[in-house]
Chain A
Amino acid sequence: MKKLMILIFLLSGFLLQGENFRETKKEAWSSTSINNAMLKLYGTSKSKEDARIIVSIPKIASNGGAVPIHISTTISAKSVAIFTDTTPFSLIAVYTVYDVADYFTKIKMGASGMVVVIVEGKDGTLYSTTRRVEVALGGCEGGGGGSYYTSASKPRYNTEEYSFVNENRFKEVATSALSTFSIDVDTASYSNIRRYLLENRVQPPKGVVRVEEMINYFTYDYEEPTTKEPFAVHTKVGQSMWNKNSKLIQIGLQTKKVDISELPANNLVFLLDVSGSMYDDNKLPLLIQSLKLLTKQLREKDQVSIVVYAGNSGLILDRAKGNEQEKIVKALKSLRAGGQTAGADGIKLAYDVAKKAFIEGGNNRIVLATDGDFNLGQSSESALVELIEKERKSGIYLTVLGFGMGNYKDNKMELLADKGNGNYAYIDNLLEAKKVLVTELGSTLYTVAKDVKIQVEFNPKKVHSYRLIGYENRVLNNEDFKNDKVDAGEIGMGHSVTALYEVLLQSSKNKSEVGSLKYQKATLIDSKELATVKIRYKQPNGNQSLLMSQVINEEDNDIKEDDFNFVQTIVGFAMLLQESEFKKDLSYKELIELAKNSKGKDKEGYRAEFIKMMEQSELLQQK
């Protein structure tokens, strides 16, 4: 009997012709989306979710370079394949199944995102299982503890076809009239996308596209506040370019621009990563040049200390005065890259130095510059977040400047800045350094309001449904709006923040009908207002939040036409990059044309560069 079985196996071995999918399905390996890769590999991207596929993969992976994955299935299968939307190309590996479908390996992930396992049955049916992996700083690997992401950012699963976008969906006003989120002034996503498109000449992985960071990269012609409130609120309602039935509500916050010389004294501690991984031209040398630009603007009352970390961390400059340019530059010039990174010790030392040099009423801030390549153990990673959270309360802020990094440290950096009540910018060239550290130094270094939360209440009589564009990771529970213990984003001097809603009005066509409620009847107030926007914020040193509110009407036109249109093109571009389901028939051609027409003065050339990025992306798409 045994001999017979072996004979059968031998025979089946001969009968099953092996397949090298790299040769038979070449195009699948250069597809930049899971859907496309599936189309090229199987001829279809339709699959059925199936519980017989057992996938074990950590929920939080500290190292995106080697994420362990174990797959097994009892389905009678031809092949098993692994896909992810976090790498430039989506197909990772294909196994041809022989005796037993049971495989383990380690894969690379470029960012937090999806891993999809497809089992191709012998009958040709595709079965699937999807997992989301956070590639970020995490206290515990493989679940058990909490994730840093709210339920609002969890992926949506569509059984018809795969769609791997975490976008916010339309919500009906009748059942949820409130939308609450924290502001976000980070811009790193934009410069990262630019690096992918203009330097590496590949489409960015979807995981790096955060539309709110793209929008907030640009400055808009918003009026400054005239009252003593920290910002002015501007609104505009207009037609959306991608859906003739929907309107867009743009909400812009603008803080006061103040001359640097009038600002309070700085106590800056530069915490610089000089480890071996910083050796490249676009890292340490660029960092040194960038900081030279920054120090040129400092005044006598400012203080600068420099802490480095690599192997051993150390204080190389203790409290130089802002006008002691030579001393600072000399210290900067002495930096050499080499050694292993010991990030945690460096951060601890930097906080100690900042505390010693603390200026009451001043701007006490650590400026961390790194490629994010921390070599930390699991326990020290969570300890690090704890430390940063603790120090935040003592009034020391944290600004994170990212340099020339591989993308998968992006999340870690954003998280650190987030926990430290700070901001995070990605510097890929000297021009960007000038933008962040000279032109916008005020907004990079001076917080004018913290824990800024926005809550919009829509009027069900006028608005049928709404969709918050971007801010997926910043969505808050409605009750968190009034809870001062819940942390939210900071806004710097001269900064503007823009948020956008896509809305379907009650008067618009093609809106899906809400199932009417059986147990309650809504009494609608007769009001022509579309919505009310409420903003809560704290003063930089305050603990109690203050409230502002403003009504949004259909005819609001507080924002310049060019700015409104340009923001639309950014949203449109992000939707194309993410292959959003809301993009309808939007094309690069329309976007580029509208962007060109709404470029405005564009003194620094940033908008022109954005148009170049869209053109590059269009070319890559056609390839």
Chain B
Amino acid sequence: MNNLKIKAKSKNGLVKAKVQIKHEMMTYNVAKRKGVNANFITYVVAKVGERTVFELSSSQFLSQNPILKFKFLAKKGEILTITWRDLSGDGSSESIKIK
């Protein structure tokens, strides 16, 4: 899917990850004005294998196409999986190999 961009690089066991999710993050106020339903990312989770390394519960007040940067412990070559969902129940999941 092209709505999710992930970069993750490990240095001495510490991974710096950058994730951008393409999402309009429509607030209730804007939605009301435009006559559409509000919709925004509510939950993002990152796992290395079965191990959760990052977890975010979010509101309508993250910026559009939110950027998330975070750090965790993992080695080069391990698989990082990002999964997100939004208010409408939509979402996606994508895995990359940690560089």
Q: A residues bordering B, Cβ < 8 Å?
A: 6, 9-10, 12-14, 16, 18-22, 29, 65-67, 70, 84, 87-89, 91-96, 98-100, 102-109, 200, 202, 280, 406
Contact = CB atoms under 8 A, between A and B. Distances in A.
A398 B67 CA distance: 39
Nearest to A108: B61
Contacts of B10: none
Contact of A104 (B32, B59, B67): B67
Given A18-B45, A88-B28, A106-B63, A100 B57 contact: no
Contacts of B29: 88, 200, 202, 406
Contacts of A9: 51, 73
Closest 4 CB pairs of A and B: A13-B51, A66-B63, A21-B57, A104-B69
A108 B62 contact: yes
A383 B64 CA distance: 29
A104 B63 contact: no
Contacts of B57: 19-22, 93-94, 96
A50 B53 CA distance: 25
Interface in B12-45: 14, 25, 27-30, 32-33, 42-43, 45
B55 A87 contact: no
Q: Tell me the dominant secondary structure on chain A's binding face.
A: mixed
Nearest to B57: A21
Contacts of A108: 25, 27, 60-63
Contacts of A19: 55, 57
Contacts of A91: 59
A94 B27 CA distance: 18
A13 B46 CA distance: 12
A102 B61 contact: no
B18 to A, nearest CB: 8
Given A65-B63, A66-B64, A88-B28, A99 B53 contact: yes
Contacts of A87: 61
A107 B62 CA distance: 4
B59 A89 contact: yes
16 contacts: A10-B50, A13-B49, A13-B53, A14-B51, A20-B57, A65-B64, A67-B63, A84-B61, A87-B61, A89-B61, A96-B56, A99-B73, A100-B73, A106-B63, A108-B27, A109-B61
B50 A14 contact: yes
A79 B63 CA distance: 21
Given A22-B42, A88-B28, A104-B70, A16 B61 contact: no
Q: Tell me the dominant secondary structure on chain B's binding face.
A: strand
B84 to A, nearest CB: 12
B61 A92 contact: yes
Contacts of A96: 52, 55-57
A93 B70 contact: no
A406 B27 CA distance: 12
Given A13-B52, A19-B55, A104 B68 contact: yes
Contacts of B59: 29, 89, 91-93
B62 A16 contact: no
B93 interface: no
A88 to B, nearest CB: 7
Nearest to B34: A280
Contacts of B33: 280
B66 interface: yes
A107 B63 contact: yes
B62 A93 contact: yes
B71 interface: yes
A238 to B, nearest CB: 39
Given A65-B63, A94-B57, A108-B62, A406 B30 contact: yes
B45 A103 contact: no
A201 to B, nearest CB: 9
B70 A106 contact: no
Contact of B71 (A16, A100, A106): A100
Interface string B65-99: 01111111101000000000000000000000000
B10 to A, nearest CB: 12
B3 interface: no
A226 B30 CA distance: 50
B8 to A, nearest CB: 13
Nearest to A92: B61
A98 B55 CA distance: 8
B71 A99 contact: yes
B42 A105 contact: no
A567 B50 CA distance: 62
B64 to A, nearest CB: 7
A103 B27 contact: no
B72 A106 contact: no
Nearest to B48: A13
Contacts of A92: 58-59, 61-62
B62 A103 contact: no
A509 to B, nearest CB: 45
B35 to A, nearest CB: 11
A53 B9 CA distance: 25
